[in-house]
A and B are shown apart, each in its own frame.
Chain A
Amino acid sequence: MKEQAEERAMESRGSLIFMEDIWKRFGAVEALRGVDFEVMHGEVVGLVGDNGAGKSTLMKILTGVYAPDRGRIYVEGKLVSFKSPEDSRRLGIEMIYQDLALARKQDVASNIFLGREPLRAYLGGLVKIIDRAKMREAAQRLLDQLRIRIDSVDQMVFTLSGGQQQAVAIARALSSTIQPKLIIMDEPTAALAVKEVEKVLQLIEQLKRQHISVIFISHRLPHIFQVCDRVVVLRGGKKVGDKPIHETNMDEVVKLIIGG
């Protein structure tokens, strides 16, 4: 009874993700100490903090890699418990790693549909062949959706620029049959040239326009301030700041990151 009431209360919050009072320790190290973290629908949230602040642990819990020692996770008001990354993905949470996890010697279309290739069955289902034509079309559509220009989806990924590769990674996140509601991007602009950074930020805007939320983890505060709606600061496993972007500035955020 109490849980139902709690759930109804949670639903009325209207958030996409609500992580409540998360605690996590690894041996002697307390990585997270009672962190609350919320993401609304169609919101771009910047997650910042120095190394060891707990950002990646928090995200690993959200994507089902770890289970929290204490605390609860609500997805669209419903209490969830992830036993594996698959559970998290099934609820529309997708993660893009810093190195993008792309197979660089393979072509764009194959990368986008990696693990989810469209198939055509022959001989009564005995032989399943990859439907490359369908894959190419769908890949092109996804890239168009993201407003990104690539010469050909048959190109090898290593021939693409940093921004284009990021787009491929995002397209892969979008290729799932379960429409993703949240995409977590870990340092997407870290190693990119200025022109490429712009492309990535535009991609994030494009996602927002499609009502997909983004958690943007980064050390590059200017980029955070360019594209996020809200910024959350972690330090030493605790949340020390959570402000809408126009209510704060870079100096304040830096002070929160460093502390003291």
Chain B
Amino acid sequence: MLHRNNLLKVVVIGVVVGILALASGVNSVAAEQHIRITAVLKTLANPFWVAMASGLLEEAINQGVVVEILAVPTEEEVEAQLNLCETSVLRKPDVMLVSPITSRNLLPCLREVARQGIPIVDLDGNLPLDFAKGTVLGEEDIPIKSQIASNNTQAGEIAADYMIQQIGTTGKVLVIQGLSGNITGMQRAEGFINRLKAKAPGIQVIGPFAGDWDRLKAATITADVLTAHPDLRGIYCANDTMALGAVEAVIAAGKGGQVVVIGTDGIKDARDAIMEGRLSATVAQLPYLMGVMAVQTAVKIMRGEAVPLRQDVPLLLLTKQVLEAGVDPLLKYIR
């Protein structure tokens, strides 16, 4: 009995050590170890962030720098992300790229990062900026070197233009935004709604509802709204995951082909759905390009070069025609 216990303990410990040893090599790119970049992303559970991570890693290889990518398992773990950030500061990276889950949850850590003189880059625009002062809005002790993001408002506008093109200037349109309180989702939804108001005031907007970036939640919301408004003409979702959920609900309600569904992000599942004719369009962000730009920015910062405070990452409207034609230059950044 004693022997078996000891053996078991040794095996368990061996497994743990093994995992630690193996996994410590997993996330960093070993190249000439000059510049060390730490990227604190939201999560790796979403293809958007996985594409961004690829962009970061591959550009890091190109540039000969080291990038460590850290994230938390789900987009709700605000405290865990803060803890992660605080822990990684201790390793004294040269540059920090951050995508805070909420606009405020990383601030205590970023304050410390700034205090240590480490430059901060806002990835994907989750921090409200004071563009005059070059700091986080309301926090003068947290300077931001650059904010690299898609213009979320513009994304909503592009979707609105396409929606008007497809359904005309009257009808009902459902809007589903992201996690409650998240700036990205709110900006996309507002951009969409305001554009509709300006260009097609006859369109009735239902929502915006919070879909929490969740496929199932968006499906449920869509199903409920379709029941209340069977004459619904269009749906706009602040990300593709939710749009795909909405599509399922539309098909399940027997309205496949009668409702125009537009998503945002441009993930692979969405592109497949567009080719199959299930999803009408998506406003593709180019997270891979964002990652590339981020590493390039970090290198420029370390070289002492000036970088713009705001860098807009281009957006691309993906429809079946665009994908089939395959000529748009930005398509190479689609992952």
- Do A and B touch (CB < 8 Å)? no
Which of B's residues lie within 8 Å of A, judged by CB? none
Residues of chain A touching chain B, judged by Cβ–Cβ distance below 8 Å, are none
